[in-house]
Structure 1
Amino acid sequence: MSSALPVLITGATGKQGGATARKLLADGHPVRALVRDPAAPAARALAAAGAELAVGDFDDPPTLRAAATGVRSVFLVPPADYGPDGWDAGDEGRRGAAMVDAARAAGADQIVFTGVATLGSAESWGQEGKRRIEDAVAASGLRYTVLRPVRFMENYLIQGLPVDGIRAGGEHRHLFPADRPLQMIALADIAEFAALAFADPAGWHGRTLELAGEAVSPVAAAAAIAEAIGRPVHYREIAESEAEAIGPQLGNTWRLIRETGGWHADLPALRLLHPGLTTLREWLATGGAARILTTIEESAPVA
């Protein structure tokens, strides 16, 4: 990665964009971060780390073209809205296509798009908006790479949602079968794969990778987390009726997981590309356990 032109990171104050921006900056590569509010703490932190900030909004296409002017590559992760009926594929697809159009019009050379791992039909798993973006990326005429990550290890830090995260009582509640291997990935590893693609646009052109770094059952994961944080943690597999009550798309996903067997990233092949893939125990030992413990303590009710 020798170009002096920056990489435009969209979603830079979010999970995947933030991890990718930090990885590139740490490696000494110029980064332009697309932000809506340059005064936000996450945006200020990126600027302090050396990123150039570009103010823009996925719902304002002219700002996207301005942000993409003078960059060589774009890391694309548009915002996606989730409501009672599931993901809004229309808005997500439109936003992603707008960034693809802006990158092409501005003269960028490459797009690395991060979507979601495949799990049966797009309609059942909320993949439809991301597939529309993949189609736009592939038709753009630019060099491109598509990354499809599975569930993040950082999801153990989520609070306030019907599923995922670890509650104050130690319960991890989710859709996944308790005794089957569950693929997961650390955010830092998504950034590593993105950096590999940015370093070799020609060699990575046209690649689509399902990304995971670990496969361990939810019960075994709960045991590893309990050992790491020194507190009881248990996994509860929710019933189909519970998933359906949360929302029809979640009910569809519950069934789809059992029909398809879940995600299918090729871990040995991914390790050949990135030998340092993070295991769950490594993620816990390098800050994950401390962050989980802090999250649990902050979410506990005040006596």
Structure 2
Amino acid sequence: MKRILVTGATGKQGSAAAYELLKNNFEVFALTRNPQSSKAVDLKKAGAILVKGDLEGIEDLSGIFKKVDGLYLVLPPVWVSSRESDEKEAEIGMRTIKLAEEQGVKFVLYSSVLGSDKQNLFRPKFKFTIEKYLLESNLQGAVIRPASFMENLLLPSFGLAEDKFVNPLPEEKAISWVATNDIGTFARIIFQNYKAFNGKTVDFGDKLFTPKQVLNLLEEKLNQPIKFVQVPLAILYQQSETFAKLVEMIDKEGYDPIDYRFISSWMPKLTGFEQWMDEIGIEKIKELRSVDDQS
């Protein structure tokens, strides 16, 4: 298990996995639409082999699939989801897994999302569809379900560049958060121990935080007040019915408990929210503000 194809290699978790694998003597094939992008060039400098293409044209990549031992399958993010985008994602994921099976890939690690099985009730063809397709195939494979990315706080929709914290989630519901670098590290651990993880689904995240706890931590680290903006459910329904139903699901049911004991048996320490803010987050938020001030 030495040659790994990483899809979404210039994205948050794809790049985290690619760099972690490279640091641990894997040969990494990095799939990218644009090999000339700065992120792709950085990966190449780090030792990755760039592969131009995308998953929508997956059949064109059969030659690469023949060369690799493992596949880290990360599908492109969809920020405004719909039934159509869900179905398209499921189709691309299943086609990719089918090609991996046809070309003799030894092991596929699919990155899904926390609570994908519960979302199946209102998203009947989505990430859980891909999970089942992989685990019911003849391939060796595993599924990792990451929690909410800490890095997502840097997206414009959260409003931190304007001294706001725009929150679409239930105000008092605690959810798990995770740093994307930790996802990359755990992906590397899985590839190094792929036989032990074969057939497993791992919910992956760190401690629980309510939106107000995140707000308090941000205010403490930035040493200033931040306006808390709660997005009404009715507005979410106008923007994306599937996302609104996800928020309703979180409010009514929450997520299943994460098995921290299992995670720590393989990876003893995850990056805490406060550590992430100290090392990465606060500096990035300040950069966002400086760009906003100049525009």
User: Does residue 1:15 correspond to 2:8, yes or no?
Assistant: no
Distance, in Å, in 1 between the alignment partners of 2:30 and 2:172 is 41
Q: Percent identity?
A: 24
Equivalent position SS for 1:257: helix
Distance, in Å, in 1 between the alignment partners of 2:81 and 2:277 is 33
Equivalent position SS for 1:177: coil
The match for 1:36 among 33, 36, 42 is: 33
Distance, in Å, in 2 between the alignment partners of 1:20 and 1:267 is 21
Alignment map for 1:228-267 (pairs within 5 Å):
228-262=221-255, 264-267=257-260
Equivalent position of 1:155 in the other structure: 152
Letter in 1 for 2:147: V
Equivalent position SS for 2:270: coil
- Say which is worse superposed, 80-89 or 29-38, in terms of deviation: 80-89
Does the Cα contact within 8 Å between 2:153 and 2:160 map onto a contact in 1?
no
Q: 1:80 to 1:226 in 2, by over 3 A?
A: closer
User: Does residue 1:201 correspond to 2:194, yes or no?
Assistant: yes
Letter in 2 for 1:168: A
The match for 1:110 among 100, 107, 129 is: 107
Distance, in Å, in 1 between the alignment partners of 2:35 and 2:50 is 7
Distance, in Å, in 1 between the alignment partners of 2:45 and 2:124 is 35
Does the Cα contact within 8 Å between 1:229 and 1:290 map onto a contact in 2?
no
The match for 1:121 among 105, 119, 122 is: 119
Distance, in Å, in 1 between the alignment partners of 2:11 and 2:119 is 27
User: Does residue 1:292 correspond to 2:290, yes or no?
Assistant: no
Q: 1:80 to 1:300 in 2, by over 3 A?
A: same
Unaligned runs of 5+ in 2: none
TM-score, normalised relative to structure 1? 0.89
Offset of residue 240 of structure 1: 1.9
The match for 2:220 among 207, 222, 227 is: 227
Distance, in Å, in 2 between the alignment partners of 1:112 and 1:240 is 34
Does the Cα contact within 8 Å between 1:72 and 1:110 map onto a contact in 2?
yes
Alignment map for 1:272-287 (pairs within 5 Å):
272-287=265-280
Does the Cα contact within 8 Å between 1:218 and 1:235 map onto a contact in 2?
no
The one-character-per-residue Cα deviations of 1:89-134 (angstroms, maximum 9, x if unpaired) are: 221111111211221222210000001111633254x573211211
- Say which is worse superposed, 169-178 or 205-214, in terms of deviation: 169-178
User: Does residue 1:53 correspond to 2:46, yes or no?
Assistant: no
Distance, in Å, in 2 between the alignment partners of 1:8 and 1:199 is 14
Distance, in Å, in 2 between the alignment partners of 1:255 and 1:29 is 41
Offset of residue 154 of structure 1: 0.3
Question: Which of the two has greater helix per residue?
Answer: 2
For the aligned residue pairs, the C-alpha RMSD in angstroms reads 2.1
Distance, in Å, in 2 between the alignment partners of 1:178 and 1:301 is 32
Distance, in Å, in 2 between the alignment partners of 1:175 and 1:235 is 11
Unaligned runs of 5+ in 1: none
- Aligned residue-pair number: 294
The match for 2:210 among 217, 230, 233 is: 217
Equivalent position SS for 1:275: coil
